[in-house]
Amino acid sequence: MNATDRTPADLLASALAADPGRPLVTFYDDATGERVELSVATFANWVAKTANLLQGDLAAEPGDRVALLLPAHWQTAVWLLACASVGVIADVGGDPSAADVVVSGPDSLDAARACRGERVALALRPLGGRFPQAPEGFIDYAVEVPGQGDRFVPFAPVDPDEPALIVAGREFSGAEVVQRALAEAPGLDLTGPGSRLLSGMSYDTWEGLTAGLYAPLAVGGSVVLCRNLGRLDEEGLAKRIESERVTAVRR
């Protein structure tokens, strides 16, 4: 983090400038056996493409609300940073009927249809795979995002004091996300660059979001994000902690 970082997108830009090749998000799904590791550069590229989709094709503007009906997943982390890049409000688990855009996983498509704006569906398949057939009324994220630009420039500067995130009914500005993530990092045993936190927490609370994304990003660390971690026994967890060189655990 640099002293001038005021938004989550700033944190990512600083991480990219400092060490683009280091791991940032390592994702496991213990229901499917999937493992994906994204370096800072790869993650930032996904964020740029997603932000271009959001700002360009979906015509999202600063202040718009984007309901994210998604689990703790590496693609959810991408969408959170893409929203921060555009200046829209990421409403985690928010009401689709009150949103300008809804982004849904495969298990929440019926609820997402309440959105009268643009609808995006994520298959959440290994390696970012697409649906065999796009759900009716939705664009398939995996089909649309590859063709987007690799660099993103917002149409208007993002105001760090404007609302950027809503989770569990609580609203945060971009600046508050950065400040709280940095302040809470020591309590998560994140001591700085090289810190690596394994999180089995969901993304539907601030605690899950800060452990599973914002705090590791703020201190120059990384996250091992585990979905369905309860399927892993203690021996398996211990092996993962060792193999991934984890320095802190939250589950």
Residue 247 pLDDT more than 80?
yes
Question: What is the Cα–Cα distance from 126 to 143, expressed in whole angstroms?
Answer: 14
Q: Tens digits of per-residue pLDDT, 61-114?
A: 999 999 999 999 999 999 999 999 999 999 999 999 999 999 999 999 999 999
Across 9-30, average pLDDT: 97
Per-residue HEC secondary structure of the chain comes to: CCCCCCCHHHHHHHHHHHCCCCEEEEEEECCCCEEEEEEHHHHHHHHHHHHHHHHHHCCCCCCCEEEEECCCCHHHHHHHHHHHHHCCEEEECCCHHHCCEEEECCCCHHHHCCCCCEEEECCCEHHHECCCCCCCCCEEHHHHCCCCCCCCCCCCCCCCCCEEEEECCEEEEHHHHHHHHHHHCHHHCCCCCCCEEEECCCCCCHHHHHHHHHHHHHCCCEEEEEECHHHCCHHHHHHHHHHCCCCEEEC
What are the structural domains of the chain? 8-250 (3.40.50.12780)
Which residue(s) pair with 69 in the sheet? 104
Q: How far apart are the first and last CA of the chain?
A: 25
Residue 2 pLDDT more than 80?
no
Across 172-190, average pLDDT: 97
Residue 1 pLDDT more than 70?
no
Residue 242 pLDDT more than 70?
yes
